[in-house]
Amino acid sequence: MTVSDSPITTCYRHTGRESHIRCTRCDRYICPDCMRSASVGFQCPDCVRSGNKDVRQARTVFGAGAAAGAAAPAVTITLIILNFAVYAAEVLQHSVVDRLSLLPDALRGPNGALYEPMNAPPGFHPIGVAHGEWYRLLTSAFVHALPSDPPFGPAHILFNMLSLWMFGVALERHLGRLRFLAAYLLSALGGAVLCYFLVAPYTQTIGASGAIFGLIGLYFVLSRKLHFDPVGAQRQLVFAVVWLVAASKVTSWQGHLGGLLTGAVIGLVIAYAPRARQGAVQAAGLTVILALLLGATAFRTSALHKDDRPAVEDAKGTGISYGRTGSTGLPEVKELTGITTPLARSRPAEGLAGQPSAN
């Protein structure tokens, strides 16, 4: 057989293309479009793809993909946009605040006003977390003080969103999107649950500060693990605690404290999960935190239902009131207008959580 009689070799992926180059891994012929540079010669796309499956992907200390550090902080940006969108809805329709705020247990009267909880007389209906509106535990973290609400007004959302950007960008880079979102929402839930336990049942609470305080606690723990602290975790934590105490008269310190403690516990779960099964341990730990918060909510709900005071008819037939046992052991009867006090329109805004200190 002469050279001219030798068979024509073609690319295994493109049979109509003549080829004289072999893949250094599988020894099949490949055309220029299928050549992938290798340490020695060229490889085909299939061998490159197979080889990549055997390469361990780079990850951060806390388990996020290495690409998360270079990606845009999409979750942080989305949360900020969502908060401002809800705020715009509040400004256009003030009733949004009443529908989304954290309200443990109250009555809505026929005039739309809120009243202290009791067994509902005619025309009144119970509302709040204790009556199945559990969504308020999270939606309250996206509601902020209206421009006309003292003492903060629009500064409430502005400082919260500034803090969210400052801590969110740093944390999302190290945790990845899913872990960061879970930490943010769990921190918001932790702050709301402590409010649910400690504030008066008919008190409304709003603001992202519980979630922001959670990010501060989370960042503090992670920065100690990393030995890298570009934001100044200790300074921010001290400022947060000082603000929590100093502003306790005008803000919901319960939401701040609950978020801070929840965020710190989340940080311990994420930072100290064993590397061998890091993702599984972190997911299990966060699930346990969620289960504990939901269990605490269910327990508080049960306690509030036990405290429901029955509505009884006034002995003089003048109206409906709730019964309360007096010194004689008999119910004290008061007229409806004397015992169901509408809530004040001002709400305890959660405050300027995580306000950055001056350098």
Residues with a catalytic annotation lie at 209, 256
β partners of residue 331? 325
Residue written as token pair 């605690």: 241
| d(C-alpha 310, C-alpha 81), whole Å | 44
β partners of residue 324? 332
| d(C-alpha 355, C-alpha 161), whole Å | 10
Go through the chain and tell me how many residues it has. 359
Give me the DSSP letters along 62-94: TS-BGGGGTS--HHHHHHHHHHHHHHHHHHH-T
State which amino acid sits at residue 242. Answer: V
β partners of residue 96? none
DSSP secondary structure letter of residue 340: -
Ranges of beta strands (E only) in the chain are: 21-22, 29-30, 36-37, 42-43, 106-108, 114-115, 125-127, 311-313, 320-322, 324-325, 331-332
Of 286, 174, 281, nearest to 222 (Cα)?
174
| d(C-alpha 18, C-alpha 29), whole Å | 9
| d(C-alpha 134, C-alpha 103), whole Å | 10
* Side-chain-side CA neighbours of residue 40 (13 Å): 3
